Every structure is written in C-alpha cells, then in structure tokens.
Amino acid sequence: MWYDLSIQKRLEGESLSADVHVPGGSAWFDGHFPGAPVLPGIAQLAMVFDLVRQAFQDPVRVKEVSRVRFKQMIMPEDRLVVVAEPRPGRVGTYAFRITKNEELVCSGTMTVVPINSAEK
C-alpha cells in the first residue's frame, strides 16, 4: 500500500476503523502541488475503499460515491483515522469520515457491490 495502515478494528456493530499514516514519500504528492503537497481526493477515497472492502469475503468494486465533502487538506506525514459505518437497509453502502486530530477532513457515502455484479 502507498500508506501505512497501523491499526484496524471493528467498532460497534459492523462499523470499521483504521489508523492511517500518510508518508511524505508517497507518489500521490508528486506534482500535487509543487512546494505545497496535498493528498488528492481520489487517494482519500482509495483509503476508504481499502477499509470497506475488508468487510466482504468476496472481491467488491465501487458502485457509487456520493455526498463527498473535503473540509481540510491532508499533508505529508499526517496521521488520520478512517471510519466507515454501514447504512441501515442499504447493503454495501457505508457512511465514511476521515479525521485528523479529531477534526473532520473528509466525509461522504460509498456503495460497493460484488466485482461480478451486473449493477452499474
């Protein structure tokens, strides 16, 4: 992985949580932006997906990402907490949040389906 996943745990029910360290040497920071590196949003969503997919035995893919809000920038060497909570009545849909120093960095909803699913 391009980041360090140091602790991973299940919270109450089916909620998932992981402590993440984003190393300064990650290729995601190259050119984004020169002199002031910031982790791109797509990389943040990849961290969420990596956490969510571990809740499933079979491989899954992202079907939909919605209601995403980026509140703060993630810089090299930041330490984060990624939490994903299943939405009641919506199989494969998780509300997620990424925090840094207990402050919200990013939040949204991600839906995953089995990789061989015909759902689009």
Strands 60-70 and 16-21: unpaired
Structure tokens at 48: 């969420």
- The pLDDT of residue 32 is 80
Torsion of CA 73, 17, 56, 63, to 10 degrees: -30
Q: Which CATH architecture has domain 4-26+36-114?
A: Roll (3.10)
User: Which of 4-8, 48-52, 81-85 comes out lowest in average pLDDT?
Assistant: 4-8
- The pLDDT of residue 11 is 66
> Could you give the percent of the chain with pLDDT greater than 70?
96
Contact 23, 4 (CB under 8 A): yes
- The pLDDT of residue 120 is 67
70: cis peptide before it, omega within 30°?
Answer: no
Domain boundaries, the chain: 4-26+36-114
pTM above 0.85, yes or no: yes
Return the closest-CA partner of residue 73 out of 51, 108, 43: 43
Residues in contact with 75: Cβ distance below 8 Å, sequence separation at least 6, in sequence order: 22, 37, 38, 39
Sheet of 60-70, strands arranged across? 4-10, 16-21, 79-86, 93-100, 103-114, 60-70
